[in-house]
Structure 1
Amino acid sequence: MKKKWLKAAGLCLAVSLIFGGCASSGNTAENADKVEAHVITDEGGNQVELPEKITKVAITPIPWASAVWTIDGGSDRIVSINPSAMAQYKKSFMTKLAPEFADISTGEISQDFSINIEELMKLSPEVAFIWNDQEAEAEKLKAVGITPVMLNYAENLENLKKDLTLVGRVLNKEDFTQELIDYHNDTETYFINKKDQVAAADQKSVLYLQNKKLSVAGSKNINNYLLELTGGRNVAAGLEKKWAEVNMEQIMEWNPEIIYLSNFDDTMPEDLYENKIEGQDWSNIDAVKNHRVYKTPVGTLRWDAPCVETPLMLKWMGSIQQPEIFSDYDIRSDIKDFYKKFFNHDLAEEEIDTIYNVKANQ
């Protein structure tokens, strides 16, 4: 009996050692994966070790306040944003989607993106999203225990998707972000697949006007690509800049057939139709004579800037520039679906009118 008992005990011990060893090995691998998952490469090329738990974030880049809100499904973790981002929020449809966003602090970040480190420390964020040229700010943040994550200004759609992916990883919202990126990819692919039809079509000449100072979108502006993709010809494509100031004489020489007015200032189509801007005469421009001046949409952010709603901007521009080629989608139906899927909001018809500036564009 004693020998049987000792034999059984030995067997149990051996089994426990085998499975215990396996469990120990498994835990080690699991922990290694966990640590690796918290190391990312940001858009400054830096290897960034993220905190194990992220409960608070600060955001210096203006467009990324609304993007972080979208990806994270709310503003609970956002403690500080750029005051310019707050100013944009107050003019956007996002005020209806997220009234609580108005309570986020703006006193720690300046409009020039500099950070008051002492004030930001009082809010105790674990992570701060910054631009990829803010090396000095990054060092200051690291010195006080705040992890900087650099984002890149999205000069093209690929950069935009990289930034979205990065934010999703930081916030542990990768599945949602991938769905958003899939929508971006599907929309861009749709327009790329129509490029032969677009090339054969009458491509309207288009001016993308940023403000009353006659700053226009040049070849290095993301809107140049959006215009071309959706069947327009940017009259300022010969200017190798993001935005370039021109004079009225140059615009008269270009004589665009379509004019888009950005939301970087409050210029409206009627200002051009009625020649309200002092020192400028728009009366002989084809776009004005033919009533083809459009104020661009504003959703959770102005659509002029690269943002989560850029696919909707593509669809809106396509419907204006090449309605016959891009007749197989309905922008009103698509924006409803998008807002339901990514913002969990059922858009009413009048809300769509507000986002699309329908009244101003009549």
Structure 2
Amino acid sequence: MNREKRKKFFSKRMIPVTFALLLILMTGCGSGHSGAESVEKTEAEETVEAEQEVAAIRTIMDQSGRLVEIPEDIERVVMTALPFPSIYAITGEPISKVAGMHPGSRGAIENSIMGDMYPELLDVPSGFIEGTDINIEELLKLDPDVVFYWADYANQTKQLEEAGITAIGVNTQGDGDALLTLQSWLEIMGEVFNQQDQVGEVIDYGSKVSQEIEKVTADLEEEEKPRSLFLFRHDSQEIIVPGAGHYGDVWIESTGGVNVAKEIDVTAAVNMEQIYQWNPEIIFITSFTATTPQDLYDNTIEGQDWSQVEAVKNRRVYKVPVGVYRWYPPSGDVPLMMKWMALHQHPELFSYDMEQEVKTYYQEFHEFDLTEEQVIGILNPLSETSEGTSGLSRQR
């Protein structure tokens, strides 16, 4: 609870205490009770009021190990962590409580099914942050009860603490493990909003899908695994790929492939000579870049010749879907991404009907019935979904 809210909170609590004190004193004088009895009743009233005040605040530990006092009644939520609107949507809490988000979240929502499912999010303010820079004055105008932010941005922690804003730090888990990260975020969201049962269903489902895929791919020989590569950010000026410690590495390896860029630590820029040496059999393109598979098939990227790369020659280049958020990082659609990756890396081993998988998932966990057109839109995202993600030092 921020400082101004705490002042208002406790000043409101004092009104009934003062009123009760006057009533007790007046009653005591009229009935001949002793002053001592009146004092005792007053102390009892104050004890009750104090207990109510304590009960209205809970303490949780965020993912940076900070103890954070949060109000029991949360009505305004701000999320600077890009995927968090998609995580929040799973909790069952009213979308109307979302009071602010990162423009990178807005870019995904405006150009994806999330805008159809939760149209009120299209009007949520996002001008208080650019890249990783928070404008505290603008954030305070949103009057947040709680802010979810990236815990590893120390400058943000300092800003939020000094402003007296109730802030819950979150971060990624397991060196790029999107499923483990999603589950940890759902757990902290469930705790904050008392929605443990609701989020628990998604956590269990994700674990089930993971086990299902691992059972099929566990005994694959190395030569049976496709050599795959993610293009994380890409245009005519740069080619940035994820290596060990980033989501792409875990996505590829956990669904039966070999990440040809595994030697890279987290992410790095590479040139076409390196791409030719790796010569990946499959290329996945994230929605943090506007590049599409057709751009590589048509070889239209200035200064880059993709025509001789095996994945391009065999037309095995795929754009990562965008549902309630971009599927590459942790999002509310992680279990679907797991199935999508497994299907594209091993179509001979998996027979997922992704259109039906998406429909069923959204019915079960969002209570939303997708049309055929909407499902196609999720599995074939627009280039515009990359909007709002520039200026971030690393993928979120």
The range that moved more, 256-265 or 87-96, is 87-96
Alignment of 1:112-131 (within 5 A): 112=132, 114-131=133-150
Q: C-alpha offsets along residues 7-29 of structure 1, whole Å, 9 cap, x if unaligned? A: xxxxxxxxxxxxxxxxx9xxx9x
Alignment size in residue pairs: 329
- Name the residue aligned to 1:102: 122
Specify whether residues 185 and 273 from structure 1 end up closer, same or farther in structure 2 by C-alpha distance, changes over 3 A only. same
- Name the residue aligned to 2:218: 196
The range that moved more, 136-145 or 317-326, is 136-145
227, 230, 233: which one aligns with 2:258: 233
1:40, 1:358 → 2: CA distance?
Answer: 37
Deviation at 1:73, TM superposition (A): 4.3
- Name the residue aligned to 1:332: 355
The range that moved more, 178-187 or 197-206, is 197-206
Q: C-alpha offsets along residues 40-72 of structure 1, whole Å, 9 cap, x if unaligned? A: 111010122211211111111111122223324
- Name the residue aligned to 2:246: 221
1:182, 1:279 → 2: CA distance?
Answer: 46
132, 143, 153: which one aligns with 2:172: 153
What secondary structure, in the 3-state scheme, does the structure 2 residue paired with 1:223 have?
helix
Aligned AA (1:79): A
Aligned AA (2:167): P
1:139, 1:35 → 2: CA distance?
Answer: 27
Deviation at 1:143, TM superposition (A): 4.2
Q: C-alpha offsets along residues 280-339 of structure 1, whole Å, 9 cap, x if unaligned? A: 011111111111111111111111111111110110111111122223x43222211110
Mapped contact 1:126–1:145 kept (Cα < 8 A): no
2:359, 2:223 → 1: CA distance?
Answer: 29
What secondary structure, in the 3-state scheme, does the structure 1 residue paired with 2:323 have?
coil
2:223, 2:367 → 1: CA distance?
Answer: 38
Deviation at 1:214, TM superposition (A): 1.2
- Name the residue aligned to 1:79: 99
2:181, 2:115 → 1: CA distance?
Answer: 27
1:37, 1:309 → 2: CA distance?
Answer: 32
Deviation at 1:166, TM superposition (A): 0.5
Aligned AA (1:177): V
- Name the residue aligned to 1:174: 196
Mapped contact 2:172–2:181 kept (Cα < 8 A): yes
Mapped contact 2:56–2:71 kept (Cα < 8 A): no
What secondary structure, in the 3-state scheme, does the structure 1 residue paired with 2:340 have?
helix
What secondary structure, in the 3-state scheme, does the structure 2 residue paired with 1:43 have?
coil
Alignment of 1:236-255 (within 5 A): 236-241=261-266, 243-255=267-279
1:98, 1:359 → 2: CA distance?
Answer: 19
340, 350, 357: which one aligns with 2:373: 350
Q: C-alpha offsets along residues 199-245 of structure 1, whole Å, 9 cap, x if unaligned? A: 4771111111122221112111122112112111111111122x211
Aligned AA (2:78): A
What secondary structure, in the 3-state scheme, does the structure 2 residue paired with 1:228 have?
helix
1:320, 1:116 → 2: CA distance?
Answer: 42
Aligned AA (1:337): T
Unaligned stretches of 5+ in structure 2?
A: 1-43, 384-396
1:244, 1:143 → 2: CA distance?
Answer: 35
Unaligned stretches of 5+ in structure 1?
A: 1-23
- Name the residue aligned to 1:209: 231
Aligned AA (1:138): T
What secondary structure, in the 3-state scheme, does the structure 1 residue paired with 2:115 have?
helix
Specify whether residues 72 and 256 from structure 1 end up closer, same or farther in structure 2 by C-alpha distance, changes over 3 A only. same
What secondary structure, in the 3-state scheme, does the structure 2 residue paired with 1:206 have?
strand
- When the two structures are superposed, what TM-score results if normalisation uses the length of structure 1? 0.84
2:154, 2:295 → 1: CA distance?
Answer: 42
Q: C-alpha offsets along residues 123-169 of structure 1, whole Å, 9 cap, x if unaligned? A: 22111111112444334434444211000034213233112210121
Deviation at 1:116, TM superposition (A): 2.2
151, 158, 162: which one aligns with 1:132: 151
1:197, 1:323 → 2: CA distance?
Answer: 16
1:290, 1:169 → 2: CA distance?
Answer: 47
2:140, 2:218 → 1: CA distance?
Answer: 54
What secondary structure, in the 3-state scheme, does the structure 2 residue paired with 1:347 have?
coil
1:116, 1:341 → 2: CA distance?
Answer: 38
Aligned identity (percent) is 38
Q: C-alpha offsets along residues 167-216 of structure 1, whole Å, 9 cap, x if unaligned? A: 12112221111111111111111122223343477111111112222111
- Name the residue aligned to 1:57: 77
Deviation at 1:348, TM superposition (A): 2.1
Structure with greater contact order relative to length (CA < 8 Å, sep ≥ 6): 2
Deviation at 1:36, TM superposition (A): 11
